Structure formats: structure tokens, C-alpha cells
Structure 1
Amino acid sequence: MNHAVLVDSPFVDKQAIADTFGKAAQSYDRHAAFQRDVGLRLLEMLPQDLSGKRVLDLGCGTGYFSQQLRDRGAQVVCCDLSPAMLEQARRRCGSEGVEYQQGDAEMLPFDDQQFDYVFSSLALQWCQDLSLPLAQMRRVTRAGGEVLFSTLLDGSLFELKQAWAKVDSYQHVNDFITVNQVKIALAQAHCKTHHLDLPTIIVWYSSAFSLMRDLKGIGANHVQGRSHGLTSRQSLKRLEREYQHFEHNHQGLVPATYQVCLGKIKL
């Protein structure tokens, strides 16, 4: 496996992100129902038959979608910041029709125009400047090809953010960009022909604890600029009380709302 340099953007500790996802590599699939939902929606934007096509799965994680891309006939390159995630992808997909490469979305370790499609689901929100990975994905895609990406938008996990705000003044939930910032990033990356879908997806949980267990289980509990002190049991109990104030569904479950951007760029 080749090892690419991790590029530290301002305010982003890429090694810490890679380490957090690495620790979650073995638990990821048990906690990733929402991530599978989003990725499947993005997958629907690709042709069913990818025979003879070379596809980059950027931020491949455990290779769940790499396997599906391969099953559609594609030659797949799995790329992830975390070596531990790549190892999980290798265990899932094996070596037939799949290659593996550690790499940073902001400085992809590939030559220009290598891929017919680039597929990246829920990885780009870890980049400080979305225009950088978008420009890189455009660079490695052949003329006539497509880039498909999903990312989270402002308003995601607002219930968790509001509940924590009642408990203390620390940042416990990452900030996400607005739709307008996505459009600006696309313009900066010279992605002229694109289409965005903007679904709101609500996932229902029995408690704030179960939501946070999922976030930790997929490695999404790394928060930029957060105090690293331990959260007291009393604070967690208060958080739960605050979270339970949100309107429950008919099964008595509380919501976790995600604002999602599904993007298709044509080259």
C-alpha cells in the first residue's frame, strides 16, 4: 500500500481525524445505517452497468460501496485517509477488481484524468475548504466523466447542538457549511456543470446516548476545536433531559435531523 501525505488545512488536524476513524474501523458497519442510506441515494445517480469503467471511491471507509461499484462491473480504487479503514475495505472486497490507496482528498495521489467516475459519500465534510477536494476530484476525472459526492449541510444535528448549548458553552458538534458555500466551492473548483439534491433525512433514536453511540461508532465524534476534557456524568444526564424535549414520534423516539447535499458534477 502506498502512503500519501496528510495535508493539514488551517484548523484541521488530519492525523487526528484519521486516528479517530481508524479506531472506529471495526465498529463502523454496526453504526452506519444513516451513512448507507445516503450512499445508496448517491449510488442511484450512477449507471447500473459500470463495466469497463474505472471508479475512485474516495473516503471509502470499510468498502461497503466499493463492493457495490465492483459488483456493477467497475474497476474500483479504494482511497481513504485511514489505513485501518482501508484494511477493513480490503477484507470486504479482496483484490479482484479493486485497488487500495491511502490518500488525502485535498491532494489526491493520482495523475490527471485517471477515472471515469469519482464517488465520495460523506467524506468531504472533514475538509476545511470544500473547493480543494472538488478541484482534485475534477482533476483526476476524464473528460465526459462524472463526480458524485455527498456532504452534510448547516442544520445537521441541530437537536444535539441545541441540547448541548443548554448544558455548557463548549463545542460538541461540528459546524457544517451552507448550500451557498457549496455553490461557491463548486465555482472556485471550476465545476461548471452540476446538479444538487438537498434531502432532509431524520433518523430516530431512543435517546441522545444512542445517537452519540452511533457517532462514536463511525468515528464522527472528532470535533474541531473541542476541549478534550472529560464530560461529567451529570452533564450527560442533563443533555439527555434536554434532548428528550424534542418532539417524539409515534414510537416514542427522538429525532436526529441531517441536511444532506447530493451533488453530481459533469466533466
Structure 2
Amino acid sequence: MNMALLDKPRIRQSFAAASATYDQAAALQRRSAIDLMREAEQEGIRGTVLDLGCGTGNLAELLLAARHKPDAVIALDIAASMLEAARCKLNRKDGLQPALHYVCADAERLPFADDSLDGIYSNLALQWCDRLEHVLADLKRMLKPGSPLLFSTFGPKTLQELKSAWAEIDELPHVNAFHGEEELMRFLQAAGFSACRIRQTLHMPRYASVVELMRELKQIGAHNVHLARPKNLTGKAKMQAMYRAYERHRSEGTIPATFEILIVSARA
């Protein structure tokens, strides 16, 4: 799949703006973090680990409270305000023993040395990387041999109802595109990872209206970040036409939205 180039400044701005509203709207992200953590516990957590794209700290909080705790957790995010939200949340927790460090950096320009990390974990963040294959190669470089990489990411079925509704209006990319299982496996193998596994889950929350869905996406910072997206405000007539197209999915008083989550595990 040819992924359109992503607008990195818009990604940073979107998540910075969403830092105050993220937690109240991010039920799916919290559920995904819990699922990811179950896999992490099975794989084994030790040493110094990285929470890549930590957001408000949901996964970092679980890593700090793990049954077999790491020695240190590095919480990293591209948006400084997200890191501050994570700091406020995690500093209120008592009895969290591992050392905790905060780093503001881009996942595509990570400041870590070769063979320096005992594990990398990431919850619904790597889909915002422009060249994921390069990012995975860099993560392999930073991991000690045999150490785990475990991340969740959105799959291509995500928001398929919204994509379908927009496709009836025009041919512009109104919804972000995401890598599928075959591409992810190819990227992992090219980067030199072994024991690669991908597990898919589908979530279909329901909403009272398309406006409610769009509001939630805004609250978690999940804007359209393709460089080829429409640059001007979408006109009212187009928006209303899209709403009508989406309404065809309504049943029993609500509309669905599909979120495909891929949980990926591998060894360096």
C-alpha cells in the first residue's frame, strides 16, 4: 500500500490540543493498553523499557504497576503537553517503584543508543509515523538482542463506515489510511525481527450521531493528517451530504464505527 505522506506538524499540534480532553474520550485506547499489557506480561518485562508515544500515560501506568516490574520506564511523546498530562497523572500514583523518565521526541528521530533498551512498548501511536519501515529498523537498532517489541496500531478497516460515506462525496483522502497485517509483517522481517506475530481485534462502538463520532475523534487528536487532505474547511453542504451517507448504517437508533486494532509482537 502506498501511504500518503503525513503532516508531522499537524500530528504534533493535534495531540497537543487534545491533551486536556484525551482521557475522557479515550476508552478504546485504554482498553487497547490493557490488552497490550496482557501480552507484555506473558512476554516478560525487565530492565529499561520505552513507552513510545505515551500520550497521557495509560500504558506507562500499567508498566509501572506490572507484576514483574521493569527497572525504569521512559515515557516518550511528540507533544509536550501530552507528556505534562502523563507527568501529572503518574506523579499522583503511590507505590510505583520503577524509575520514570520523560522525553519529548519524534518517534521517527529517537535519541537512544544502539542496544540500549530491554523492551519497547507502544499503544496506538506508530500509525502516525510516516515511514514505519524505517522506524521499525531503528527500534531494532536500539533494542538489546532478544528483547521484545510489542505495539498496537490501527488496521485498514478502521473507520471504514466514515471512509465509505466520504467516498460518495468526493475522491479526497478525508480519513487516515493504515497498514495491514501483510505490510507490517514484511516491515518487521525486513528490519530483522524474529518471532513476529500479529493478532487482530475489531471494536464497534456505537454513537448517537456522526457529529458525536467526529467530536470524539477530535478529543483524542485523531485528525486527518495526510498531506493530500483537503486544506480548506469542508463546506456545510458536503458535510451534510456525508452525514446522510453515513446515516445508512444506522440501526436501533445508533450508528457504528469500526476500529480494527492489530497487536504486534516480535523479538529483536
| TM > 0.5 | yes
Partner residue of 2:7? 13
Q: Which piece of structure 1 moves more, 147-156 or 222-231?
A: 222-231
1:88 equivalent in structure 2: 85
Runs ≥4 residues deviating over 6 A: 48-51
Give the AA of the match of 1:30: Q
State how many pairs are aligned.
257
Map 1:36-75 → 2, pairs under 5 A: 36-47=30-41, 53-72=47-66, 73-74=69-70, 75=72
Q: Distance in 1 between matches of 2:134 and 2:45?
A: 29
Please report how far the alpha carbon of residue 247 of structure 1 lies from its aligned counterpart in structure 2 after TM superposition.
4.9
Give per-residue Cα distances to partners, 1:136-189, cap 9 Å, x unaligned: 222222223201011112121110011112233332101112221111111221
Q: Is the 8 A contact 2:207 2:254 kept in 1?
A: yes
Equivalent in the alignment of 2:165: 163
3-state SS, counterpart of residue 101 of structure 2: strand
Which amino acid in 2 is paired with 1:210?
Answer: E
Q: CA deviation at 1:10?
A: 8.3
Q: Which residue of 2 aligns with 1:4?
A: none
Task: Give the Å deviation of 1:50.
Answer: 7.1
Deviations 1:180-219 (A, max 9, x none): 1111111221112211101222121111111111111111
Displacement of 1:24 in angstroms is: 0.9
- Answer yes or no: is the 8 Å Cα contact 1:200–1:258 preserved in 2: yes
Q: Verify the 8 A CA contact 1:79 1:103 in the aligned structure 2.
A: yes
Query: What residue is the counterpart of 1:222 in the other structure?
Result: 224
What CA distance in whole angstroms lies between the structure 2 residues aligned with 1:64 and 1:242?
35
- Which segments of 5 or more consecutive residues in structure 2 lack a partner in the other structure? none
Instruction: Indicate yes or no: 2:196 matched with 1:202.
Output: no
Alignment of 1:1-267 (within 5 A): 11-47=5-41, 53-72=47-66, 73-74=69-70, 75-94=72-91, 97-224=99-226, 225-248=228-251, 250=252, 252-267=253-268
Moved more, 235-244 or 57-66: 235-244
Whole-angstrom distance in 2 between the partners of 1:105 and 1:28:
20
